[in-house]
Structure 1
Amino acid sequence: MLMIRLQRVGRANDPSFRVVLTEKRNATKSGKFLEVLGSYNSRGGKAVLNKERVTKWLKDGVQLSDTARNILINHKLIKGDKVKFIGKNKTKEVVAEVKAQETKAPEAATAQV
């Protein structure tokens, strides 16, 4: 399954990314991509995209990563709401907070009865 996502190419402490078309199962750093569709500089928020190729692949049913989707929405290539996503590092913290809230809610309900 094909996917449009970002591949980091910047120097240390100076991130910049390629917008690439790749197989979903390939690692982003593997260098195995089918086509470079543009670039994205996260510091300035500037993206240079090949709009014709991106729209062609979207019509063919290619999936988007969350970040790539948000970039395309910013540049008005697709319509929709931005996707809020949680990075890998924060997942455990968020899950712990949700579990803590779930345990507090039943205790508060029984205390009020």
Structure 2
Amino acid sequence: MATKIRLARHGAKKAPYYRVVVIDERAARNSKPIEEVGRYNPCVDPSMIDLDLTKIDEWLSKGAQPTDTVRCLIETARKEA
């Protein structure tokens, strides 16, 4: 099974709130994830990025591929930590 680390959209209209999830790459955007590894809220200033980097590193070692957006969020979180 090919897995991806990507965003799942939640929140209201024009007020998005994202969860960073590990999910099968063929699943729909808001399908049930394998595991939730973080949260991202772009609507607050500054943007809230809350990632569990140890879980993300585990999934990356297992072969999960992050999307471009999630890759940028991971890099930002590592710089802040």
Looking at structure 1, the residues matched to 77 and 51 of structure 2 have their Cα atoms a distance apart, in angstroms, of 9
* 1:67 to 2:69 alignment: yes
Looking at structure 1, the residues matched to 78 and 52 of structure 2 have their Cα atoms a distance apart, in angstroms, of 13
Considering only aligned residues, what root-mean-square deviation do their CA atoms show, in Å?
1.3
Structure 1 residue runs of 4 or more that deviate by more than 3 Å after TM superposition: none
Equivalent in the alignment of 1:17: 18
What is the identity percentage for the equivalent residue pairs of Structure 1 and Structure 2?
A: 32
Between stretches 4-13 and 40-49, larger displacement belongs to 40-49
Equivalent in the alignment of 1:50: 52
- Long gaps (5+) in structure 2: none
Higher helix share: 1
Contact 2:21 2:34 in 1 (8 A): yes
| 3-state SS in 2 of match to 1:10 | strand
Q: What's the TM-score once normalised by structure 1's chain length?
A: 0.63
Q: Give the letter for the 1:51 counterpart.
A: L
Looking at structure 1, the residues matched to 67 and 24 of structure 2 have their Cα atoms a distance apart, in angstroms, of 12
Higher strand share: 2
| 3-state SS in 1 of match to 2:16 | coil
Q: Give the letter for the 2:4 counterpart.
A: M
Q: Count matched residues.
A: 76
1:13-72 deviation per Cα after TM superposition (whole angstroms, max 9, x unaligned): 11110000000011112x221001011001232111112111111111210111101100
Task: Please say which structure displays the higher CA radius of gyration.
Answer: 1
Q: What's the TM-score once normalised by structure 2's chain length?
A: 0.85
